[in-house]
Structure 1
Amino acid sequence: MKPRNLRHFRVFLAVADLGTPTAAAARCGVSQPAVTQALSRLEAAAGGALFDRRRKGFFLTDRGLLVQSRLRRGMERLDGALAQVAPRLVLTATSAQLQALIAMVETQNFTLAARALGLAQPTVHRAITQIEREAGRPLFDRSAFGVVATRPCRDLAQAARLAFAEFDQGEAELADHDGREVGRIVIGALPLARSVILPEAILGFRARRPKTIIAVLDGPYDEMLAGLRRGEIDLIIGALRDPQPIADVVQEPLFNDQLAVLVRPGHPLAGQGTVAPAQLVTQSWAVPRRGTPARTQFDSLFAARGLPLPDSIVECGSVLLMRELLRRSDMLGCISGQQAGAELRNGLLSTLDIGIDWPGRSIGLTYRRDWMPTPGQRLMLGELRRAGAEVAERSA
Structure 2
Amino acid sequence: MIRNLRHLRVFLEVLDTTSVTRAAEACHLSQPAVTQAVAKLEAEAGLPLFRHMPQGLFATEAGLALGARVRRALGRLDAAAAALSPRLALTTTGSQLRALIAVREAENFTLAARRLGLSQPSVHRAVSDLERETGRPLFERTAHGLIATKACRTLADAARLAFAELDQAAMELAEMAGREVGRIVVGSMPLARSLLLPQAIAAFRQTRPLLTIRVEEGPYDDLLGALRRGETDVLIGALRLPSPIADIRQAPLFEDDLVIVARPGHPLAGRGGLTLAEVAEFPFVVNRPGSPIRSLFDAQFADQAIPAPRSLIESGSLILMRQLLEQSDHLGCASRLQVAAEIAHGHLVPLPLLLPGTTRPIGLTTRIDWVPTASQQAFLDCVAQAARARTVRPYSQIQ
Q: What TM-score do the two structures reach when normalised by structure 1?
A: 0.97
Residues 275, 355 of structure 1: 8 Å contact kept: no
Counterpart amino acid of residue 174 in structure 2: A
Q: What amino acid does structure 2 have at the position aligned with 1:193?
A: A
- CA change 1:90–1:355 in 2 (3 A) is closer
Deviations 1:51-104 (A, max 9, x none): 112221110012211211111111111111111111211121110100000011
Deviations 1:335-371 (A, max 9, x none): 0111111111111111112244343110000011111
Please list, as runs of the form range in 1=range in 2, the aligned pairs for 1:1-396 lying within 5 A after superposition.
1-2=1-2, 4-392=3-391
SS at match of 1:362: strand
8 Å CA contact retained: 1:276, 1:355: no
8 A contact 2:187–2:223 mirrored in 1: yes
Deviations 1:159-198, CA, capped at 9 Å, x for gaps: 1001101111111111100111111111111001111111
8 Å Cα contact 1:259/1:358 also seen in 2? no
CA deviations on 1:125-154 (whole Å, 9 max, x unpaired) are 111111111222211122222211111110
Amino acid at match of 2:78: D
Equivalent position amino acid for 1:325 in 2: L
Amino acid at match of 1:169: Q
CA contact (8 A) 1:254 1:392 kept: no
Greater mean deviation of Cα atoms: 357-366 or 28-37: 28-37
The CA distance in 1 between the partners of 2:87 and 2:51, in whole Å, is: 33
One-letter code of the match for 2:388?
A: A
Output the CA distance in 2 between the equivalents of 1:353 and 1:113: 55
Deviation at 1:319, TM superposition (A): 1.3
- Report if aligned partners of 1:274, 1:355 keep a CA contact under 8 Å in 2: no
Alpha-carbon distance in 2 for matches of 1:355, 1:230:
40
Please list the CA deviations of residues 321-347 of structure 1 after superposition, one character each: whole Å capped at 9, or x if unmatched.
101110000011000111111111111
Q: Partner of 2:206: helix, strand, or coil? A: helix
Counterpart amino acid of residue 89 in structure 2: V
State the 1:386 CA deviation. 0.9
Q: Segments of 4+ in structure 1 off by > 4 A?
A: 393-396
SS of structure 2 residue aligned to 1:233: coil
SS of aligned partner of 2:251: strand
Shift of 1:29: 2.2
Alpha-carbon displacement from aligned partner over 1:299-330 (angstroms, at most 9, x marks no partner): 00101111222110001111111011100000
TM-score for the superposition, normalised by structure 2? 0.96
**What runs of 5+ residues in structure 2 fail to find an aligned partner?**
none
Question: Residues 259-278 of structure 1, C-alpha deviation per residue, up to 9 Å, x if partnerless?
Answer: 10001111111243132112
Percentage of pairs with the same residue: 53
Distance 2:375 2:270 in 1: 51
Q: Secondary structure at the match of 2:391?
A: helix
1:121 Cα deviation from its structure 2 partner: 1.4
Q: Give the SS at the match of 1:197.
A: helix
CA distance in 2, matches of 1:242, 1:120: 46
Contact 2:300 2:355 (8 Å CA) reproduced: no
